[in-house]
Structure 1
């Protein structure tokens, strides 16, 4: 079974607003893939699906697009950004719960295909880019960037990721800190 979902393209409007629009162009879809688009405009503190918690790190006018495709037992997720801070690396990961207006923490922990029995999960045998969807993105001089994650599994129907969170720092990989990436300046509810 092959399916692709263009999940979200978000633009910040004003100091505290995000715009969620469909991800239209970009990478080609796998042969036979069906596309799904989600569009909305959301102000910080309003009704989701997207929020900004730190407009200094996710400036007005920025855009974020997330695309997910499952094919041949693997999941490919792509993150595209524009208008973020230039020459900066943001951590980004799929999370277990949808975004809320209250806090980026409400999106829960990182989605893990094989769940760590210990929380928070900082063990590199669980918190790693093959067991989680890591989308760290480094922006260019114009604040644009793109990253792709390919994992050797697909989401089970009863346990799927519900958000992609932008973090303030690159993702750590060493024991005791694996998977950590600092604060959560932005969150996008998705439908993987």
Structure 2
């Protein structure tokens, strides 16, 4: 999916959740913001995220987590997995089973990411997007990891 197609689809999505990111680390500057929208599309789910006010020219990992954001980085809980399994097992910790929104900011500290998934949400839904210090790893024993939790946005999917 190209950026233009993703942005055109956003018009039919649920209302965007836009807010100031909770910052747990200076790598998510105080006042940084994000917008997240999601929608069912052709039997699957598309999630779009836009972030502003971050550090320029920097990689961030970003994932959906099971709990809302809290005062502590761990409050958001583990990654949301469509089929629940091992946190670092590549059979479960992968971009087909989790919502990975890794991105690199531009020179102005803005970033955009999208995930296209082959499944829709059931009763169990994620509750936040957490920004991590690096892009997500895929190798066994480290799959799904992306370093420290730097910031968070509660998103009622």
TM-score normalised over the length of structure 2 = 0.88
CA offsets, 1:53-100, max 9 Å, x none? 11x111134221111111221111111112211111100000011111
CA distance in 1, matches of 2:116, 2:105: 20
- Contact 2:67/2:77 (<8 A) preserved: yes
Question: What is the 5 A alignment of 1:81-92?
Answer: 81-92=51-62
Report what 1:51 is aligned to.
Answer: 22
Q: Which has the higher contact order (CA 8 A, sep 6+)?
A: 2
Q: Runs of 5+ in structure 2 lacking a partner?
A: 1-5
Aligned residue pair count: 152
Q: Secondary structure at the match of 2:75?
A: helix
CA distance in 2, matches of 1:146, 1:106: 25
- Please identify the structure whose Cα radius of gyration is greater: 1
CA distance in 2, matches of 1:164, 1:128: 16
Greater percentage in helix: 2
- Contact 2:57/2:107 (<8 A) preserved: yes
1:28 CA displacement: 2.5
CA distance in 1, matches of 2:144, 2:62: 10
CA distance in 1, matches of 2:57, 2:19: 28
Q: Runs of 5+ in structure 1 lacking a partner?
A: 1-25, 42-49
- Contact 2:65/2:78 (<8 A) preserved: yes
Report what 2:107 is aligned to.
Answer: 141
- Change in Cα spacing, 1:38 to 1:67, as seen in structure 2 (3 Å) is closer
Report what 2:68 is aligned to.
Answer: 98
Question: What is the 5 A alignment of 1:1-192?
Answer: 27-29=7-9, 33=12, 35-38=14-17, 51-54=22-25, 56-101=26-71, 103-116=72-85, 118=86, 121-156=87-122, 158-192=123-157
CA distance in 2, matches of 1:134, 1:34: 18
CA distance in 1, matches of 2:130, 2:10: 25
Task: Supply the RMSD in Å over aligned alpha carbons.
Answer: 2.0
CA distance in 2, matches of 1:144, 1:34: 21
